[in-house]
Amino acid sequence: MKFRLLTFVVSLLLMTNFLQAQESLVKGTVKENGTGEPLPGVNVLIKGTSVGTTTDFNGEFALSVEKGGTLVFSYIGFVSKEVLVENQSTFDISLDVDAEQLEEVVVTALGVERSAESLTYSTQSVSSEDLITAKDPNVMNSLSGRVAGLQLSRSGSGAGGSVKINLRGNRSVSGSSSPLYVIDGVPMAGQGAAQPGEIENPSRDGGDGISNINPEDIESINVLKGAAASALYGSQAANGVIMITTKKGEAGQSRVSFSSNFMAEQAYLYPEMQSKYDAEGNAINHKAHTSDDFYETGTTWVNSLSYSQGGDNSQFYASYANTNAQGVMPTNTFNKHNFSFNTTTKSRNDKLEMRFSANYITQEGFNRPSAGAYMNPIYSSYLSSRSISQDELKNNYQTWNKTRQIYEQNYAAPVRSEIANENPYWLLDKATSEDIRNRYMLSGSLSYKFNENFSIQGRANIDATDDVWERKAHATTNPINISVDPGTGLSHGGYFKDEFSNTMTYADAILNYNKKINDFNITALVGGAIRDEKNSLYRVTSDKRSIKYTNIFTVASLPEGMVPREAATQRQVQSVFASASLGYKEMVYLDVTGRNDWSSTLPVGDNSFFYPSVGLTAVLNNMFDLPEVISLAKVRGNYTVLGNDANAGLTILQHGINFNGDLAYSDISPADNLKPELSTSIEFGAELELFNGLLYLDANFYKTNTVNQLFRVDNRLGTSNFNKRYVNAGDVENRGFELSISAMPVSQGDLTWSTTLNLSRNVNEIKELYTRDNGTEAEFDIVTNGGNINYMQVLRKGGAIGEIWTADFARNEDGTIIVDDNGVPSAAGITPEESIKSNSNPDFIAGWANTLKYKGFTLNMVIDGKFGGQTLSLTDSYMDAEGTSVAYAEAVENDGSVEVEGISFDPVKYLNATSGRAGVTSQYLYDQTNIRLRELSIGYTFNNVGPLSDVTLSAVGRNLFFFYNAAPFDPDVVMSTGVGVQGLNFFSLPTTRSVGLNLRVNF
């Protein structure tokens, strides 16, 4: 059915094309004036209509046109030409190179287009081609390795999962360190997706907003790395901005594109399991469940269709895409539909321009993988008892209870340690989760050009997301955490549901001024903006109790006395801002910006804050006589201050009502003196272009200090009726460099090789924490407390955001390992003195992107690497403790001893003593260094195939293999893309490699 509909739409679209072709046919060739080279892709449009065509590879075109009509030839980088159609049957057109247009234009903050040369800060862009060839359902994954200084990690939640993007390091100890996403100049919402915060019982990955976007709709992505680039977006842009420019209709073009992408996905680098011994070390005589049995081959289909058409004054673009994925974890599916439409209309005198765009996204995930211990099939799979055979576990995961008339979980194996476990196949079938997202984004803009110098623009957008997540845990699921019904003494099941909605409204008005006075060029703007974000949550949970009606998952089935919980927050920021750029003779540019925000989250009467920036660029090649090989030499620097407000509701004393309907006294006092967080950054950079663009270098050095960070600190006990309070304090520094080198080492005839190398290093350092009540300075502050688990994420003076503490061996005063009466070592405490402190941030990131073109062939390859940084595998530690790992089997088989720091231990006893949550966790730390083949694709483009203008068929692979990987898992898969639980692998979905085919057809 789906396919039929598609065929219908395609033929409909084709028909409109044929309908237009009814007048007399003219033909011609378009060439470049001077060289005589044919120009492919030139727009040929009949003036005053939306009818037109484009030239083919040989610069030739054919078009039906009435006599007396005028043809408009336009091509980027060339001066447009108009030709009256009289009696000519063939046209030989030559176009002049437009010197002005050739200058590279960059889309900067608020969608302002500026010449690349004049920028005082660093940006880097990625083109559509790079994003859609080896397509990933989350388009951000395609940025890996392509942008210097961009660190990317993925959540282990399969298709539709979040990514964590970090530009120039983690900046905030309590807030977000993610960049702001901006689509066509207006900020996107959806930063509020839920992220895991605990280890064993984490919340789910709610899926970030950017993952919803259809990659096919994107024309280009421009990454504004530092704060300077984004001063005009205000606080949300403190972590940099990812500017997305979407595809639009073009004047004189009518284009239909269809692309179909199929990828097969395979899990790898997951822990191996042994099938030889039970937990007591006795040999087993059956095949036990292993991780190899668990994962399946995943598939992802992405089909998309777009249509764009444009006349002189009005253009539109419309697209539809469908993503359909089966995960590598059995039963996991994901389905997404994207609808997108945008239009641009200009008045006849070109003074008034109106844009409108609409996006609708609906997606549905089933059994989306998440990390953690509770109700996680991956956890239950890796820890499943060796005493049960795979056949039994998988085929008899449930038994029919005749008395209760329900299926009950079978082989919910009690395990050796304090950890409870379930049957993974039961969880897949009887503790399922489902998440549904509906999102729309509407935006409109109106701009009016008063004259050459002045223009005004107003924009508004709404970005609204509704999420519903539900988990239905059938009776006998999770017997430890879902209690029994007080009446029957039986488990009736558990029910969990979240309805989350997020609505962001944004509007701005900007007056632009452009003027050239003698040698000076002024670009200035002044404007105002309002951003209002509302979040609401309606949460139904049976928590740790049994629902009332067996396997009836509805609010009315909540245990006696339990109530749904609601929360609603709103944050509004109103701003005025101004910016001016003064250029002198295209030699020197001076940028000054200022912004004042008023935020609803700050204390009334003290809710206004101002922040400025200043930047300077010198274009050396325009100032001095440089050797001819240097086509661009530029140095630049900027200084920026950026303010950031806080979360809603901190300044008010509010007492919540809990799931039992009882009022719970707030443990924290209202933050009467809340101040905005302030980031101050300086940046220096240089750009050098040699040999007419064959070699290009861009280098940046930066330092950012963020002060007035928000901490929740303990009060000195009893000084008030609250245990905690908020404190603005601290200083987090990020310093580093980014280096990007692009070159075209080969450009001979049909063969071109272009390559980009991106290198970056960021050092994150906590210079200062806060001062306690009693005047002493805090030495550390806990971000994630492992509780029973020997892991802690800590902010430490002198350490980094992302520092993790793990347990060392308990040691004697002379440093030797303490061996107890049973002949085993034990773990020391997670204390400032005893713990092993590791930084989970990489020291160095590198990416190498290559494109090789020969005739119709295109080869793309991206290699990226991270160097340094450590990560903890609690997965392995728990598996060793449970006796399911290969390491355990080896220990059983080892009749000798293991030697650690000169002391001999019994292998099994040693493993038991050092593994598990309370084990010597530092033994499970791994270097994160890895180098991998991130992307490889080879494609061939056929031109003029029948009615089609071109067809490209590519074979693509993503994340294919590692050249080097120190850890037994992929360190890029993170448990949370939020602030906490970093540097930790805890039964996350393993990494996957995918290979597939991509077909792209342009009509």
CB of 609 to other proteins, least distance (A): 13
Q: Is 556 in the site for other proteins (CB under 8 A)?
A: no
Q: Is 658 in the site for other proteins (CB under 8 A)?
A: yes
Segment near other proteins (CB under 8 A); pick from 24-32, 314-322, 659-667, 892-900 = 659-667
Q: Is 893 in the site for other proteins (CB under 8 A)?
A: no
Q: Is 754 in the site for other proteins (CB under 8 A)?
A: no
Query: Are the C-beta atoms of 579 and 513 separated by less than 8 Å?
Result: no
The only residue of 652, 751, 818, 945 in contact with other proteins, by rule CB under 8 A: 652
Q: Is 530 in the site for other proteins (CB under 8 A)?
A: yes
* Tokens 């010197």 -> residue: 99
Nearer residue to other proteins within complex by CB, 759 or 920: 920
Nearer residue to other proteins within complex by CB, 336 or 796: 796
CB of 462 to other proteins, least distance (A): 15
Nearer residue to other proteins within complex by CB, 267 or 828: 828
CA distance 768 to 789: 27
Q: Is 896 in the site for other proteins (CB under 8 A)?
A: no
Nearer residue to other proteins within complex by CB, 748 or 774: 774
The only residue of 545, 761, 993, 1000 in contact with other proteins, by rule CB under 8 A: 545
Q: Is 440 in the site for other proteins (CB under 8 A)?
A: no
Residue 187 tokens, joined: 């900020």
Nearer residue to other proteins within complex by CB, 23 or 543: 543
CB of 557 to other proteins, least distance (A): 15
Q: Is 777 in the site for other proteins (CB under 8 A)?
A: no
CB of 915 to other proteins, least distance (A): 11
Query: Are the C-beta atoms of 908 and 892 separated by less than 8 Å?
Result: yes
Nearer residue to other proteins within complex by CB, 112 or 620: 112
Q: Is 785 in the site for other proteins (CB under 8 A)?
A: no
Nearer residue to other proteins within complex by CB, 88 or 719: 719
CB of 486 to other proteins, least distance (A): 4
Binding residues among 178-197 for other proteins as defined by CB under 8 A: none
Query: Are the C-beta atoms of 931 and 109 separated by less than 8 Å?
Result: no
CA distance 834 to 823: 21
Binding residues among 679-698 for other proteins as defined by CB under 8 A: none
Binding residues among 460-499 for other proteins as defined by CB under 8 A: 479-480, 483-484, 486, 489
CA distance 784 to 197: 7
Residue 310 tokens, joined: 């444009």
Residue from 864, 862, 842 nearest 931 by CA: 864
Nearer residue to other proteins within complex by CB, 569 or 1002: 569
Q: Is 282 in the site for other proteins (CB under 8 A)?
A: no
Torsion of CA 910, 911, 913, 917, to 10 degrees: 160
Query: Are the C-beta atoms of 109 and 119 separated by less than 8 Å?
Result: no
Nearer residue to other proteins within complex by CB, 17 or 723: 723
Query: Are the C-beta atoms of 161 and 211 separated by less than 8 Å?
Result: yes
Pairing status of strand 984-985 against strand 973-974: unpaired
Query: Are the C-beta atoms of 762 and 840 separated by less than 8 Å?
Result: no
Residue from 711, 651, 650, 703 nearest 677 by CA: 711
The only residue of 526, 582, 886, 933 in contact with other proteins, by rule CB under 8 A: 526
Rg (alpha carbons) of the chain, rounded to whole number? 31
Nearer residue to other proteins within complex by CB, 920 or 975: 920
User: Cβ-count burial of 956 within 10 angstroms (0-12 exposed, 13-18 middle, 19+ buried)?
Assistant: buried
Segment near other proteins (CB under 8 A); pick from 587-595, 664-672, 735-743, 865-873 = 664-672
CB of 53 to other proteins, least distance (A): 41
Q: Is 62 in the site for other proteins (CB under 8 A)?
A: no
First to last CA, the chain: 23
CB of 702 to other proteins, least distance (A): 31
Q: What are the Cα distances from residue 426, in Å, to 68, 140, 422?
A: 75, 34, 8
Q: Is 528 in the site for other proteins (CB under 8 A)?
A: yes
The only residue of 101, 297, 401, 721 in contact with other proteins, by rule CB under 8 A: 721
Segment near other proteins (CB under 8 A); pick from 210-218, 234-242, 561-569, 930-938 = 561-569
The only residue of 656, 745, 798, 823 in contact with other proteins, by rule CB under 8 A: 656
Residue-wise DSSP of 514-573: EEEETTEEEEEEEEEEEEEEEEEEEEEE-TTS--SSTT--SGGGS-TT---EEEEEEEEE
Pairing status of strand 588-599 against strand 984-985: unpaired
Q: Is 773 in the site for other proteins (CB under 8 A)?
A: yes
Nearer residue to other proteins within complex by CB, 511 or 707: 511
CA distance 221 to 246: 9
CA distance 790 to 299: 37
Segment near other proteins (CB under 8 A); pick from 73-81, 92-100, 656-664, 792-800 = 656-664
Query: Are the C-beta atoms of 468 and 452 separated by less than 8 Å?
Result: no
Binding residues among 595-614 for other proteins as defined by CB under 8 A: 598-601, 604, 607
Q: Is 529 in the site for other proteins (CB under 8 A)?
A: yes
Nearer residue to other proteins within complex by CB, 467 or 781: 781
Query: Are the C-beta atoms of 534 and 502 separated by less than 8 Å?
Result: yes
Helix axes 907-914, 886-893, angle to 10 degrees: 150
Query: Are the C-beta atoms of 207 and 193 separated by less than 8 Å?
Result: yes
How would you write 619-648 as a 3-class SS string?
EHHHHCCCCCCEEEEEEEEEEEEEEECCCC
Residue 176 tokens, joined: 């977000």
What b/e string do you get for 359-384 counting C-beta neighbours within 10 Å, with b at 16 or more?
Answer: bebbbbbbbbbbbbbbbbbbbbbbbb
CB of 782 to other proteins, least distance (A): 10
Q: Is 930 in the site for other proteins (CB under 8 A)?
A: no
* Tokens 């997965």 -> residue: 875
Q: Is 997 in the site for other proteins (CB under 8 A)?
A: no
Q: How many residues bind other proteins (CB under 8 A)?
A: 80
Q: Is 631 in the site for other proteins (CB under 8 A)?
A: no
Nearer residue to other proteins within complex by CB, 47 or 909: 909
Q: What are the Cα distances from residue 617, in Å, to 120, 168, 580, 581, 723?
A: 5, 21, 14, 11, 51
Nearer residue to other proteins within complex by CB, 96 or 667: 667
Nearer residue to other proteins within complex by CB, 114 or 416: 416
Binding residues among 812-831 for other proteins as defined by CB under 8 A: 826
CB of 100 to other proteins, least distance (A): 26
Q: Is 84 in the site for other proteins (CB under 8 A)?
A: no
Q: Is 904 in the site for other proteins (CB under 8 A)?
A: no
CB of 106 to other proteins, least distance (A): 24
Binding residues among 570-589 for other proteins as defined by CB under 8 A: 570-572, 574-576
The only residue of 717, 813, 896, 902 in contact with other proteins, by rule CB under 8 A: 717
How would you write 207-262 as a 3-class SS string?
CCCHHHCCHHHEEEEEEECCCHHHHHHHHHHCCCEEEEEECCCCCCCEEEEEEEEE
The only residue of 11, 89, 776, 812 in contact with other proteins, by rule CB under 8 A: 776
Nearer residue to other proteins within complex by CB, 145 or 825: 825
Q: Is 203 in the site for other proteins (CB under 8 A)?
A: no
Segment near other proteins (CB under 8 A); pick from 323-331, 525-533, 859-867, 988-996 = 525-533
